[in-house]
A and B are shown apart, each in its own frame.
Chain A
Amino acid sequence: MSEASPVVEARGLVKSFAAHGGLLGTGPRFRAVDGVDLVVRERETVGLVGESGSGKSTLGRLLVRLVDPDAGGIRFDGADLLAVKAAPLRRLRRQFQIVFQDPYASLNPRMRVGTLVREPLDIHRIGSTRADRREAAARLLEEVGLDRAAMDRFPHEFSGGQRQRIGIARAMACGPRFVVADEPVSALDASIQAQILNLLVDLRERHGLALLFIAHDLRIVRFVASRVAVMYLGRIVEEGPTAEVYARPLHPYTKALLEAVPRRRPSDPPARILAGEPPSPVNPPSGCRFRTRCPVAEAVCTSEDPPLRQVASGRRVACHLV
């Protein structure tokens, strides 16, 4: 199997924030993302999973340059994304887009849907006339499963699932090659989640997208992603093909996470318990960051930070005991 070419390649990304504000950001800082390498290839969906505070959303925002890293590099189509100047960056932005979790908060309530979807086309001057762009917006709405009559209405007139479709239409407007979907179905009802997941899968296939799908729900990631990366306290602790990682997780945290997923039916074995809670990222544990909750930790785990290393074809894990 020949590998598709990387669309996005991140190396050693670090991003820190001031903990609880702090006047002028002078308080203690913590590293939300602390040395992450990740590649997303053409036509590939990478699932990024982790709990709150794992840094998965920050990583997603770094990859589309909504925030800039403190250290590390990002290559987009082979070019150094961090070296791009403001004007060319604006032009490049049409290539990478983000879909947000909350379709209620991410659409301007005072703009009509047609304008919301047309706005990226206007900004990037795609299409020669305003009428062209309006027609393009109508087609985008139809592609995401809405009626073109939606153009003249306001976001509040739509349900959560329909708003998420509008958000996706906006993200797709300029024909991106890379899309970050940050918990795109977490705020939606169960019967609506499946519609939106199917839509994202269809769009990826039709447009050959590279998709980074950020989620805390492992059942959903298993459905959409061909490769999965698991984050814990700012680091990727395991990465590999989804089917292999789910069938044979290597990192104790991945195992615990999979065992904590609620059972599908009452006759299945109950979810297993991982004790404790993630430690504060302001003061991460020495050595392996997972050792304070790890059921198999040994002395070496306290003293040495395990590097993320390749253990099999396409599989990486950061654990001393694997």
Chain B
Amino acid sequence: MAPLLEIAGLKVEYASARGPVLAVDGLDLAVPRGMTYALVGESGSGKTASAYSILRLVEPGRITAGRIVFDGRDLMTLTEKEMRKVRGDAIGLAFQEPGAALHPVLRIGTQVGEALQIHRGLSRKQAWAEAVKLLADVALPDPERQARAYPHELSGGMKQRVMLAIALSCRPKLLVADEPTSALDVTIQAQILALLRRLKAEHDLTVLLITHDLGVVAEVADRVGVMYAGRIVEEADAAALFDDPKHPYTRALLAAVPSDDPKTGRRLIALPGNVPDPAAPPSGCRFHPRCPERFAPCDSDDPAMTEPEAGRRVACHLYDRALAR
């Protein structure tokens, strides 16, 4: 079966004081149906711009190249009017900061039912009744009463449940979740991740998850794409990626998570340097200035994507047969 979402050669450009910046520079990825695909990266990696490209919401930036095929349709060829029918309907979006994404003076029930009025033509009353059901589905306690509440009356965890109810209101095929738990406490994060797993199973969802947290990836992802400086550097099934990371950047990210070993006072294996400035990416492999394994071609030649084993892609000269040491 064709993947639900396929992105090829995507480039997203932003203007900056120092000229155009390519936030995403040639992204290829495929999200198979029924999977949770995690796009992982640090700040400036382009993960968020990639995700919002799917909804064509990258302003003030613009998509300068690439194809985004969703459920057999190339979204890049749609008019803005057609695109509005896709957003919030076939593709649901949950934001990182539910506090900022929710309208402060509209009741929760109105906001959850809004997309049903727009996309499904439900009356206000019907939409409200559906909203209460959706709030129950995301396990918001006392949904009848909470539907009448305003966002400020809810905790961060409850607001994220509301965001998920909105994102799922039109029964989307794809849920894009942007750092859905980053603003939450650890016990609440565990609740929301468990909810995400349950909703995915019950609603037959495909999920594209944007996160910087490998713990979140380990909790929910089936497949993972690791982004660095606007590109995917490694992609694999989650279990394979964690058990045997191939790209030196993936290895470094995994090594930077403090281990379970209770000995204290040791040093962490830290990557040197900083995340590169997207306005001035390094030559050759963009990771080479920080890479502990760099060798001759890395500072001059951009590594091509290789497939060292089935289901795994790596962009690193270490896996380039012609250069193998």
A residues lining the B interface (CB < 8 Å): 45, 51-52, 159-162, 189-195, 197-198, 201, 205, 216-220, 222-226, 242-243, 246-247, 256-257, 259-268, 270-275, 277
Q: Which residues from A are CB-within-8-Å of B269?
A: 194
The answer to whether B187 touches A260, judged by C-beta atoms less than 8 angstroms apart, is: yes
Given known A190-B257, A257-B186, A262-B189, contact A224–B264 (CB-CB < 8 A) = yes
Q: Which residues from B are CB-within-8-Å of A194?
A: 255-256, 268-271
Q: Which residues from B are CB-within-8-Å of A226?
A: 264-265
11 A-B contacts, Cβ less than 8 Å apart?
A: A51-B188, A159-B275, A191-B42, A192-B275, A194-B270, A195-B272, A205-B265, A222-B260, A223-B266, A264-B215, A274-B190
Per-position binary interface string of chain B over residues 142-172, scored 1 when its CB falls under 8 Å from any chain A CB and 0 otherwise: 0000000000000111100000000000000
Q: Does B194 contact A (CB under 8 A)?
A: yes
Q: Which residues from A are CB-within-8-Å of B194?
A: 270-271, 273
The answer to whether B253 touches A191, judged by C-beta atoms less than 8 angstroms apart, is: yes
Given known A190-B253, A194-B269, A266-B239, contact A222–B190 (CB-CB < 8 A) = no
Q: Which residues from B are CB-within-8-Å of A45?
A: 264
- The residue on A at minimum CB distance from B222 is A266
Q: Which residues from B are CB-within-8-Å of A195?
A: 270-272
Contacts beyond the supplied A264-B242, A266-B218: 12 A-B pairs with Cβ under 8 Å: A52-B185, A159-B275, A191-B252, A195-B271, A197-B258, A223-B266, A266-B238, A266-B242, A270-B194, A271-B193, A273-B194, A277-B155
Q: Which of B189, B194, B221, B274 has the most CB of A within 10 A?
A: B274
User: Contact check: which of B187, B260, B265 meets A51 at CB < 8 Å?
Assistant: B187
Q: Which chain B residues (250-293) contact chain A, with CB distance < 8 Å?
A: 252-253, 255-260, 262-272, 274-275, 290
* Cα(A310)–Cα(B202), bound, Å: 47
Task: Give the Cβ gap from A278 to chain B, nearest Cβ, in Å.
Answer: 8
Task: Give the Cβ gap from A145 to chain B, nearest Cβ, in Å.
Answer: 10
Task: Give the Cβ gap from B44 to chain A, nearest Cβ, in Å.
Answer: 9
- The residue on B at minimum CB distance from A160 is B43
The answer to whether A225 touches B264, judged by C-beta atoms less than 8 angstroms apart, is: yes
The answer to whether A262 touches B213, judged by C-beta atoms less than 8 angstroms apart, is: yes
The answer to whether B242 touches A219, judged by C-beta atoms less than 8 angstroms apart, is: no
Count chain B residues whose beta carbon lies closer than 8 angstroms to a beta carbon of A. Answer: 49
Q: Which residues from B are CB-within-8-Å of A189?
A: 42-43, 212, 275
Q: Which chain B residues (175-212) contact chain A, with CB distance < 8 Å?
A: 185-191, 193-194, 212
Task: Give the Cβ gap from B262 to chain A, nearest Cβ, in Å.
Answer: 4
Q: Which residues from B are CB-within-8-Å of A217?
A: 186
Q: Does B12 contact A (CB under 8 A)?
A: no
* Cα(A201)–Cα(B155), bound, Å: 35
Report the tally of A-B residue pairs with Cβ distances under 8 A: 141
The answer to whether A267 touches B243, judged by C-beta atoms less than 8 angstroms apart, is: yes
Given known A189-B42, A191-B256, A264-B257, contact A256–B264 (CB-CB < 8 A) = no
The answer to whether A273 touches B190, judged by C-beta atoms less than 8 angstroms apart, is: yes
Q: Does B219 contact A (CB under 8 A)?
A: yes
Q: Which residues from A are CB-within-8-Å of B265?
A: 201, 205, 226
The answer to whether B253 touches A192, judged by C-beta atoms less than 8 angstroms apart, is: no
Q: Which of B212, B218, B271 has the most CB of A within 10 A?
A: B218
Q: Which residues from A are CB-within-8-Å of B218?
A: 262-266, 268
B residues lining the A interface (CB < 8 Å): 42-43, 155-158, 185-191, 193-194, 212-216, 218-219, 221, 238-239, 242-243, 252-253, 255-260, 262-272, 274-275, 290
Q: Which residues from A are CB-within-8-Å of B258?
A: 197, 219-220, 222-223
* Cα(A256)–Cα(B305), bound, Å: 42
Q: Which residues from B are CB-within-8-Å of A264?
A: 215, 218, 242, 257, 259-260
The answer to whether B268 touches A271, judged by C-beta atoms less than 8 angstroms apart, is: no
Given known A220-B258, A257-B186, A271-B193, contact A265–B242 (CB-CB < 8 A) = yes
The answer to whether B215 touches A191, judged by C-beta atoms less than 8 angstroms apart, is: no
The answer to whether A277 touches B257, judged by C-beta atoms less than 8 angstroms apart, is: no
The answer to whether B187 touches A274, judged by C-beta atoms less than 8 angstroms apart, is: yes
* Cα(A261)–Cα(B213), bound, Å: 12
* Cα(A200)–Cα(B96), bound, Å: 30
Given known A191-B253, A218-B186, A266-B242, contact A198–B267 (CB-CB < 8 A) = yes
The answer to whether A277 touches B157, judged by C-beta atoms less than 8 angstroms apart, is: yes
Task: Give the Cβ gap from B266 to chain A, nearest Cβ, in Å.
Answer: 8
Given known A222-B262, A262-B189, A265-B243, contact A191–B219 (CB-CB < 8 A) = no
Given known A260-B189, A263-B218, contact A193–B256 (CB-CB < 8 A) = yes
Task: Give the Cβ gap from A42 to chain B, nearest Cβ, in Å.
Answer: 15
The answer to whether A261 touches B215, judged by C-beta atoms less than 8 angstroms apart, is: yes
The answer to whether B243 touches A262, judged by C-beta atoms less than 8 angstroms apart, is: no
- The residue on A at minimum CB distance from B258 is A223
Task: Give the Cβ gap from A212 to chain B, nearest Cβ, in Å.
Answer: 15
Given known A195-B270, A265-B218, contact A51–B262 (CB-CB < 8 A) = no
The answer to whether B221 touches A266, judged by C-beta atoms less than 8 angstroms apart, is: yes
The answer to whether B188 touches A277, judged by C-beta atoms less than 8 angstroms apart, is: yes
The answer to whether A190 touches B212, judged by C-beta atoms less than 8 angstroms apart, is: yes
* Cα(A275)–Cα(B264), bound, Å: 31
Task: Give the Cβ gap from B258 to chain A, nearest Cβ, in Å.
Answer: 4
Given known A222-B262, A247-B262, A266-B238, contact A191–B275 (CB-CB < 8 A) = yes
Task: Give the Cβ gap from B145 to chain A, nearest Cβ, in Å.
Answer: 16
Q: Which 4 A-B pairs have the closest CB atoms?
A: A262-B215, A223-B258, A194-B270, A189-B42
The answer to whether A223 touches B216, judged by C-beta atoms less than 8 angstroms apart, is: no
* Cα(A189)–Cα(B255), bound, Å: 14
The answer to whether B187 touches A190, judged by C-beta atoms less than 8 angstroms apart, is: no
Task: Give the Cβ gap from B244 to chain A, nearest Cβ, in Å.
Answer: 11
* Cα(A284)–Cα(B312), bound, Å: 51
User: Contact check: which of B191, B268, B271, B290 meets A197 at CB < 8 Å?
Assistant: B268
Q: Which of A45, A265, A275 has the most CB of B within 10 A?
A: A265
* Cα(A106)–Cα(B212), bound, Å: 24
The answer to whether A191 touches B270, judged by C-beta atoms less than 8 angstroms apart, is: yes
* Cα(A312)–Cα(B242), bound, Å: 38
